[in-house]
Amino acid sequence: AAAGTPMVIAYDMHPLTLWLTQRALRIDTVTLVNLVSETRVVPEFIGARCKPDLIAPAVLDLLQNSHAQDEAMTLTMQRLGQGGEPPGLRAARSVLAHL
C-alpha cells in the first residue's frame, strides 16, 4: 500500500492448512488494504480459487482500472498514520499504555 502498487493476491496452500486457517481466522480477507480500508477492492485468490483462469481476468481488470484500489490504498495509509510518528514508536507507545 505504501508504494501505491495495484495488486491481486494469489496464494495456494495445502488443503489441510487452508481448512485449519479458515477455522482459526474470523476474517473474510487477508489483505491489509482490504482490512484497514474496510473494502474488498484487492481481489484474493486463496486455496482452491488460486487458479490462472480466475486470476487472469482480475489482473486484466486491474490493469484497465485501478482507481478503486488507489483510493483504498490512500485511505489505508492515512489510517495507518502515514507521515506521522514511525510505526515502531507508535507500537511501543501502545504497548506501554497497556502496561
Q: How many CB atoms lie within 10 A of CB 62?
A: 17
> Where exactly are the structural domains of the chain?
9-97
Q: Residue-wise pLDDT tens for the chain (99 aa)? A: 677 889 999 999 999 998 998 889 888 899 999 999 999 999 999 999 999 999 999 999 999 998 999 999 999 888 887 777 887 887 788 889 888
pTM: 0.74
SS3 state at 38: coil
Handedness of CA 85, 78, 59, 45 (dihedral sign): positive
